Structure 1
């Protein structure tokens, strides 16, 4: 083989090696972006869920609200997201030719301090306390408005309506709490998770995922508070719940007839 032939052969081998390396790099980048897309897509799902929940609450569709709460929890569950995050961090390190993270360092989520948990929370006690405070203000106003001896009936009717409105507002606030939670995760927590995962910041990404998981665990709790408030509303004024109230009354009548 002539010297020129050898040089050409060596050049061809280098080109082939470069092509193979480029192909491997492209596959790594595609895999990395594919895993990131899975994370990115969840943010839009959560945001859209928030809007849907608002409609469900307005229609008193508690079954749809419950499904939405379950979906929020499913999307945000660390057991499902951690394997995805682990692959993103590993692929990113290999692609960028940086130190591959130790497997043990990305197996578990860190414990978050109370000050790090900032997602919306509404307890049953807080809901009742705020409602009763507003109702007391309303009752004081009505007693001042209808204080004549011949206005007792007007006062009684006004107080009755105020108490029903307080019950209705509790159910509405409890339902919208779930909507706010979904939108908070989508707008505040998810972008941080996506950013830290993309940059390969292991500790920050794990903390962001821990915050997402903690917020998601709040969804079933929020639904239970909504369910209790809506049940109270149905017990006091089924007709105020529109078509859903009519449906439930018919179902209740059928049950009693059996």
Structure 2
């Protein structure tokens, strides 16, 4: 067995263990083979933690506190716009209703419950905010942790909250839960909507699951190795998944 194959097998076992510990009862879905292509690092962004494509660029949320957001040209990563936000240790970003929606995964006072922010895309100012449902402790986390991935879909947004073991579909302007599905592991992160299916990162196992959004059943998965940048944020463009790694600062795509 090749070293890459050995590493992939070990990570697959870790992903299965993470999913089991989160209460998942689904069988392992088939693996879809993809190769990681490192694209670039963004000037000024040290810890890119989530991605959101829009018609005129790519929004990238950086988790260095207080969090900045960069709009870049997808083809080369050159910066179009930089926003200073009020988010702390942010892990999720999406766009809808003319605004950015950002998961402030922590708070300035770490004992306070994390919040989800509606943010002005021109100024970075918070327009509204809501306590993130399902926030709390998980794994080795010692202060309340909020949402990680966000993704706008048909007037609502999906949100991954690791401490809850769930993915929530949310009403954006009220912060109310529409419904939820089980998360495919413990450290769920970036989300992407792809032709009726929801992709979800599970960072501990370096695996990206394709889920049926009706019930959370995994349809397929992409397994990365320890040699690849760790998957954090996620989005899809023209059927191709892109992801970012806050540890190495790489923006990558899967081909």
> TM-score of the superposition, structure 1-length normalised?
0.17
Q: Which has the higher strand share?
A: 2
Greater relative contact order (CA < 8 Å, ≥ 6 in sequence): 1
Q: Which has the higher helix share?
A: 1
Give the number of the structure whose alpha-carbon radius of gyration is greater.
Answer: 1
